[in-house]
Amino acid sequence: MEFFTIAFSVLAIGGAIGLLFFKHPLHGAMSFLVTLLSVAGFYALLSNKFLFILQIIIYAGAIMVLIMFVIMFLNVREKELIDENFLVNKFILGALLLAPFAYLLFSSVANYTPQNIALAEDFGTIQSIGLNLFTEWMFTFELISILLLGAVVGAVVVAQKESKNG
Protein backbone atom coordinates (compact mmCIF):
# COMPACT_ATOMS: atom_id res chain seq x y z
CA MET A 1 0.00 0.00 0.00
CA GLU A 2 2.86 2.37 0.78
CA PHE A 3 4.34 1.67 -2.68
CA PHE A 4 1.10 2.75 -4.38
CA THR A 5 0.86 5.88 -2.25
CA ILE A 6 4.36 6.90 -3.28
CA ALA A 7 3.72 5.96 -6.91
CA PHE A 8 0.49 7.97 -7.10
CA SER A 9 2.20 10.89 -5.37
CA VAL A 10 5.06 10.90 -7.86
CA LEU A 11 2.64 10.62 -10.78
CA ALA A 12 0.42 13.45 -9.46
CA ILE A 13 3.35 15.78 -8.86
CA GLY A 14 4.94 14.83 -12.18
CA GLY A 15 1.68 15.49 -14.01
CA ALA A 16 1.30 18.86 -12.31
CA ILE A 17 4.87 19.84 -13.20
CA GLY A 18 4.29 18.71 -16.78
CA LEU A 19 1.14 20.83 -16.91
CA LEU A 20 3.20 23.85 -15.93
CA PHE A 21 6.19 23.31 -18.19
CA PHE A 22 4.91 21.77 -21.43
CA LYS A 23 4.65 24.44 -24.08
CA HIS A 24 1.99 22.81 -26.23
CA PRO A 25 -1.53 22.81 -24.70
CA LEU A 26 -2.19 19.23 -25.80
CA HIS A 27 0.82 17.95 -23.86
CA GLY A 28 -0.28 19.99 -20.84
CA ALA A 29 -3.75 18.44 -21.05
CA MET A 30 -2.23 14.96 -21.07
CA SER A 31 -0.21 15.85 -17.97
CA PHE A 32 -3.42 17.08 -16.34
CA LEU A 33 -5.01 13.71 -17.15
CA VAL A 34 -2.14 11.93 -15.38
CA THR A 35 -2.76 14.11 -12.32
CA LEU A 36 -6.51 13.40 -12.36
CA LEU A 37 -5.96 9.66 -12.65
CA SER A 38 -3.46 9.78 -9.78
CA VAL A 39 -6.06 11.47 -7.59
CA ALA A 40 -8.48 8.70 -8.55
CA GLY A 41 -5.83 6.23 -7.42
CA PHE A 42 -5.69 7.96 -4.03
CA TYR A 43 -9.45 7.57 -3.71
CA ALA A 44 -9.10 3.87 -4.51
CA LEU A 45 -6.40 3.51 -1.84
CA LEU A 46 -8.74 5.17 0.66
CA SER A 47 -11.42 2.59 -0.25
CA ASN A 48 -13.78 5.31 -1.41
CA LYS A 49 -15.33 3.62 -4.42
CA PHE A 50 -17.86 6.36 -5.11
CA LEU A 51 -15.33 9.20 -5.38
CA PHE A 52 -12.99 6.93 -7.34
CA ILE A 53 -15.67 6.29 -9.96
CA LEU A 54 -16.74 9.96 -10.02
CA GLN A 55 -13.14 11.08 -10.51
CA ILE A 56 -12.70 8.69 -13.44
CA ILE A 57 -16.06 9.34 -15.12
CA ILE A 58 -16.50 13.07 -14.56
CA TYR A 59 -13.02 14.54 -14.41
CA ALA A 60 -10.79 12.13 -16.29
CA GLY A 61 -13.60 11.36 -18.73
CA ALA A 62 -15.99 14.21 -19.41
CA ILE A 63 -13.92 17.23 -18.41
CA MET A 64 -10.83 15.98 -20.23
CA VAL A 65 -12.87 15.28 -23.37
CA LEU A 66 -14.16 18.86 -23.19
CA ILE A 67 -10.65 20.26 -22.71
CA MET A 68 -9.30 18.15 -25.58
CA PHE A 69 -12.19 19.23 -27.81
CA VAL A 70 -11.45 22.91 -27.14
CA ILE A 71 -7.73 22.45 -27.76
CA MET A 72 -8.35 20.56 -31.00
CA PHE A 73 -11.02 23.06 -32.07
CA LEU A 74 -8.62 25.97 -31.60
CA ASN A 75 -5.99 24.09 -33.64
CA VAL A 76 -3.03 25.72 -31.91
CA ARG A 77 0.19 25.38 -33.88
CA GLU A 78 3.70 25.53 -32.47
CA LYS A 79 4.49 28.84 -34.21
CA GLU A 80 1.34 30.49 -32.78
CA LEU A 81 2.34 29.89 -29.16
CA ILE A 82 3.70 32.80 -27.16
CA ASP A 83 7.42 33.10 -26.55
CA GLU A 84 8.31 32.09 -23.01
CA ASN A 85 11.71 33.72 -22.57
CA PHE A 86 11.18 34.64 -18.93
CA LEU A 87 10.09 31.18 -17.79
CA VAL A 88 12.99 30.77 -15.34
CA ASN A 89 12.36 34.19 -13.79
CA LYS A 90 8.66 33.41 -13.38
CA PHE A 91 9.49 30.05 -11.81
CA ILE A 92 11.87 31.66 -9.31
CA LEU A 93 9.33 34.36 -8.45
CA GLY A 94 6.60 31.76 -8.00
CA ALA A 95 8.85 29.64 -5.78
CA LEU A 96 9.67 32.66 -3.61
CA LEU A 97 5.99 33.55 -3.27
CA LEU A 98 5.06 29.98 -2.38
CA ALA A 99 7.92 29.45 0.09
CA PRO A 100 6.01 30.69 3.18
CA PHE A 101 3.02 28.49 2.34
CA ALA A 102 5.29 25.51 1.74
CA TYR A 103 6.94 26.11 5.12
CA LEU A 104 3.55 26.19 6.86
CA LEU A 105 2.44 23.04 5.06
CA PHE A 106 5.60 21.06 5.79
CA SER A 107 5.76 22.19 9.43
CA SER A 108 2.13 21.19 10.02
CA VAL A 109 2.67 17.80 8.37
CA ALA A 110 5.83 17.22 10.40
CA ASN A 111 3.99 17.91 13.67
CA TYR A 112 0.95 15.81 12.76
CA THR A 113 0.19 12.77 14.87
CA PRO A 114 -2.29 10.34 13.31
CA GLN A 115 -5.35 9.43 15.32
CA ASN A 116 -7.75 6.57 14.98
CA ILE A 117 -11.13 8.08 14.22
CA ALA A 118 -14.13 5.80 14.29
CA LEU A 119 -16.16 6.26 11.12
CA ALA A 120 -19.70 5.15 10.56
CA GLU A 121 -20.21 1.82 8.81
CA ASP A 122 -21.78 3.50 5.77
CA PHE A 123 -19.28 6.38 5.56
CA GLY A 124 -18.57 7.31 1.94
CA THR A 125 -21.27 5.16 0.40
CA ILE A 126 -23.55 6.52 -2.27
CA GLN A 127 -26.56 6.27 0.04
CA SER A 128 -24.94 8.19 2.90
CA ILE A 129 -23.63 10.90 0.55
CA GLY A 130 -27.04 11.26 -1.10
CA LEU A 131 -28.90 11.43 2.21
CA ASN A 132 -26.46 13.98 3.59
CA LEU A 133 -26.54 16.04 0.39
CA PHE A 134 -30.33 16.22 0.20
CA THR A 135 -31.01 16.74 3.91
CA GLU A 136 -28.27 18.71 5.65
CA TRP A 137 -26.85 20.39 2.51
CA MET A 138 -30.10 20.85 0.54
CA PHE A 139 -30.05 24.66 0.50
CA THR A 140 -26.40 24.77 -0.58
CA PHE A 141 -27.03 22.17 -3.28
CA GLU A 142 -29.94 24.16 -4.70
CA LEU A 143 -27.96 27.40 -4.53
CA ILE A 144 -25.12 25.87 -6.52
CA SER A 145 -27.55 24.47 -9.09
CA ILE A 146 -29.05 27.97 -9.58
CA LEU A 147 -25.52 29.41 -9.91
CA LEU A 148 -24.62 26.83 -12.56
CA LEU A 149 -27.88 27.50 -14.42
CA GLY A 150 -27.04 31.21 -14.45
CA ALA A 151 -23.57 30.42 -15.81
CA VAL A 152 -25.05 28.34 -18.63
CA VAL A 153 -27.55 31.08 -19.53
CA GLY A 154 -24.73 33.66 -19.47
CA ALA A 155 -22.57 31.51 -21.76
CA VAL A 156 -25.45 31.16 -24.23
CA VAL A 157 -26.06 34.93 -24.23
CA VAL A 158 -22.36 35.68 -24.80
CA ALA A 159 -22.16 33.08 -27.58
CA GLN A 160 -25.22 34.60 -29.31
CA LYS A 161 -23.75 38.11 -29.15
CA GLU A 162 -20.46 36.89 -30.63
CA SER A 163 -22.23 35.04 -33.46
CA LYS A 164 -24.22 38.17 -34.37
CA ASN A 165 -21.05 40.31 -34.36
CA GLY A 166 -18.90 37.74 -36.16
Query: Which residue would you say has higher pLDDT here, 52 or 89?
Result: 52
Find the radius of gyration of the CA atoms of the chain.
21
In this structure, are 110 and 134 located in the same domain? no
In this structure, are 61 and 36 located in the same domain? yes
- Look up the CATH number of the domain holding residue 26: 1.20.120.1200
Decide: pTM greater than 0.85.
Answer: no
The pLDDT assigned to 69 comes to 78
Mean residue pLDDT across the chain: 84
Domain count within the chain: 2
Query: Which residue would you say has higher pLDDT here, 61 or 13?
Result: 13
In this structure, are 55 and 108 located in the same domain? yes
pLDDT bucket at 37, cuts 50 / 70 / 90: very high
